[in-house]
Structure 1
Amino acid sequence: MGVTKVLADLRARCPQRPAVGILAFEAAAVMSRLVSLHRSLAEEEVGRLRAGMRAPGVAYLTSKDQVFILRFVGAELVGDLDAAAAAVSRLAPRCRDPLLRAFNRLYADLKAGGVYSFLIDARAAADLDHLGLGSTAKRAERRVRKMEQYVAATSRLYAKMEVLNELEEAEKHAQQ
C-alpha cells in the first residue's frame, strides 16, 4: 500500500478540522523570537550582561560608561521587540478578534505611553485583559511556556512533513 493510499485513508477517517496553513510556520517563528526576547530579559541574563560590562576588555573596546552601554542594549532590545511587533502586525488581520486586528495601533499606543487612545468604548478596554496587559509574572511565564510548546509542535510538524516528502519522492521513484 503506497503512501498516497495511506494518506487518503487517514483523510477519510479524520473529521474536518481547521487546516494548518503556511502561516503556522510564520507564527511559530514570531513566537520563537518573542520567547528568545523574553529569555534575554531574565534576571540571570541581565546579571551576566552587567558582569560582562565590567570586564576590562569590554570597557577598552566599547566604553567605561555602564549607563551608556545599558541604554544601548535597551535600544537594541526595543528594536528586536519592534521587529517582532511588525511580524505580529502582519499576522493580526487574519485574527477573528477585532482587538487583535488592531494590534499595530495598540502597540503604537503602548510605545507612546498610552493604551486606550484608539479604543472607542469601555467594553473594548475591558477586552485588553485577555491580551495579558498587566499580567503577573506567573501568567507571563505560563504564556511563554505555551508559546514554547507551540514552537516545538510546529518544529515537529515541519520535520514530519519533510519525512513525508521524502517518502512520496521514494514512492514516485519506485513507481517509475
Structure 2
Amino acid sequence: MENREFFKKPLHVFLLAMLCCTLWGSAAPFIKWGYKLFNIEGVPSILMFAGIRFTLAGFLVILFGSFLQKKVLVAKKENIQGICTLALFQTAGQYFFYYIGLSHTSGVNGSIISGTSAFISLLVASLIFHYEKITARKALGCFIGFLGILFMNISGASASFSFVGEGFVLMSQFCGSI
C-alpha cells in the first residue's frame, strides 16, 4: 500500500493521531521520572539530560529517514540557515524553558500547559507572521481553549503558578509556535 493510500483511511489516521497524542502527553511524566531515576538536580544537569535526549533523537531521525529514503540524509547548504533558526526556537528555546519549567512544576501541570501550543500557534501565525487570518470563531475557540487549560491548571494537581515552573512551560510553547 502506498503511503498516500494509508493516510486516506480514517482508522489509520485516528490510530496514528492517538499514538502521537499518547506519546506527547506522556513526555512530561517520563521526563520527571528521568529526573528521579538519574538524580538530576540543577540547571546544568537538566540541560545535559535534555541535550543527550535530543542528540539521540536527532540521530534516530536521520537513521530512520535515511532508511526510508534509501540514502544517507545530509542537509543541503541552502537549508542550513533555516535549520539553525528552527533549532534555535524549536529545540534550544522551547526545550530550555520546558525542561527547566518542568523541574519546577508537576508533570500534570506541564502536560496541561503544553496543551496551549495549538492556540498559541494560531495566534503567532495570524498576529506575527500573517500566515493565517484570525476570525471571530477562531478567536472564540482560542479563548475557550485557554479558559479550559486555565481551569484544568487551577483544578489540577497544584493550584499554584510560578514563573520558573508553569511560566517557563508556557514560554516553551511560545518558542515552539514561533
| TM tier, smaller | under 0.3
Higher gyration radius (CA):
1
TM-score by length of 2: 0.26
